[in-house]
Chain A
Amino acid sequence: MRAARVLAIALACAAVVAFLLLRRSGTDAGRNPAATSEGQPRTPTAGPSTPAPAVPTPRAAAKPSAGLDPEALASPQATVGTELRLLEGGEQDLFRQTFLPAVQPQVTADAFAACRKRVRQVPVRPDWEMAEASASGGHRVIRVSMFGKSMTGFHEVDGRWLADALWCLPIGLP
């Protein structure tokens, strides 16, 4: 009787450990910029100037296994390269994940199409040499001019650098 109780406790403990291991593994594999709610405890100071990643979009949250490789967003330069690759490849959903959650709803089909056109019109040559480093809401931010004019911020969120603006849209043209 006592042996059976010990066995039951052992099985329960094993189940808990297995659950925790699986949960952690799944998070790492499915990490994507939109589904950052698990990263929130590490960024409790997120302020209003940094769009809070608290509410992942349903689309992004529903596709964790289709998320981008963290390496694709490992630096601002990597993020820009990834964005260009995704634009070229027509990967709108993945492209959306390269932006801060607050910006992601702006990545509509029309915006995506406009961006695809724009990057074919004008060489994309961010001025990294004059990029400015700062912090916002507990995140590191690198701000860079993509076309010589407005600056785009790239925010480090859980090791991924996410853009705070849809920089590839043409500005000021009717």
Chain B
Amino acid sequence: MRVAGHVGGENTKGCRGRVLVSTLVGQGSFARVGAIALLSLVAACGGSETAAPGGSVPLGWQPPAKGLWIWYFGYTGMTAAQAAQTAKDAGVGYVLIKSGQDASYWDTRYNAASVAEFTSRGMKVFAWAYMTPADVPGSVQAAALAARVPGTSGLVIDAEIEFEGGHDLEAQQLCEGLRAAVPGVWLAYTSFGWIGYHPTFPFDAFDRYCGDAFFPQVYWSDRGVTWSSGHAEAMQMLEAARLQAPVWIVQSNDDTPQGASPATADLNAFFDLTPPYSSLWEFPSSASPAKLPQLALLHWTN
């Protein structure tokens, strides 16, 4: 059961086709004007304050650009302020900052001050928490604390391998618990990108109860495939699964299994092809300094 206060209510079925539309834009030879028109349609489906099937965007928020995931500031070698300035200079539109793990809420990392470093620079902020089925009530309490941090636009549940194997009920309880604990919360989830390879993951439950958006992790460089084949397979699997949540696709700047960094052109091609709210995992580590200047070269807007 969803809690009232959830933004939106208009069901725009046309949005279900936006993945395919965006694919055509990127791979075909549409004239620029046509592409812009189609992307505008995409934006209208996923970016307005009216509801898309299964969810909506936060009240009063249309991301100015694509997003960037942050695990924690320590590994970046930067303070929150420095990371925020770097993200702003690169053109990032929103960030997703890890707020905790299961029943642990990390108030020393995800707090009003760190969030404000980004919001004060014009970016939006999501909290994301890695969750397993181990302690659903505790996880609800912890994530709810993060969702209530001033400046937070929404909450993204990261659910992965621990939810495989028949944890539909826990997924439902987690999502419903969060909606009950934080009425009106914009609640999304992220998980595996190629969903067809994970038949026992409760995608349907998350889609139904946490489906304000789905952030599939289409980490083509980690897998060692081309951006285009990785994207195409992910889209085919999403269509086949008939999930309803708006898709906010994620790519990674991790190296390939061969140890090569993904090329800026490939990352941009993926970004160009995906709707305006796609994002990048992750803010580069200080151990990978060469990836930092690449941020400013990416196409954060479609």
Interface residues of A (CB under 8 A from B): 117-118, 120-123, 125, 127, 129-130, 132, 145, 148-151, 170-174
Contacts and interface: CB of A to CB of B under 8 A. Distances in A.
Report, as a range, how many residues of chain B touch the other chain.
20 to 34
B259 A121 contact: yes
A130 B106 contact: yes
A121 B259 CA distance: 5
Interface-central residue, A118, A129, A173, by most chain B CB under 10 Å? A173
A127 B101 CA distance: 11
Nearest to B100: A130
A145 B109 CA distance: 15
A125 B104 contact: no
B118 interface: no
B52 to A, nearest CB: 26
Contacts of A174: 194, 197, 223
A132 B72 CA distance: 16
Interface stretch (B35-43, B158-166, B178-186): B158-166
Given A171-B161, A172-B160, A173-B219, A130 B255 contact: no
Contacts of B259: 117, 120-121
A121 B254 contact: yes
Contacts of B72: 127, 129-130
B217 A145 contact: no
Contacts of B158: 149
Contacts of A117: 257, 259
Contacts, number: 62
B250 to A, nearest CB: 12
A121 B221 CA distance: 9
A150 B160 contact: yes
Contact of A173 (B75, B104, B222): B222
Nearest to A151: B101
Contacts of A145: 101, 130
Interface-central residue, A117, A125, A149, A170, by most chain B CB under 10 Å? A149
- Is chain A's interface secondary structure helix, strand, loop, or mixed overall? loop
A150 B162 contact: yes
Interface string B189-211: 00111100110000000000000
21 contacts: A121-B255, A121-B256, A121-B257, A121-B259, A122-B222, A123-B287, A125-B75, A129-B72, A129-B74, A130-B101, A130-B106, A132-B104, A148-B71, A148-B130, A150-B130, A172-B161, A172-B191, A172-B198, A172-B217, A173-B222, A173-B223
A129 B285 CA distance: 16
A150 B102 CA distance: 10
A120 B272 CA distance: 28
Contacts of B106: 130
Contacts of B219: 173
Given A130-B104, A151-B101, A122 B160 contact: no
Contacts of B193: 172
A88 to B, nearest CB: 13
A122 B291 CA distance: 12
B120 interface: no
Contact of A125 (B98, B160, B285): B285
B102 to A, nearest CB: 8
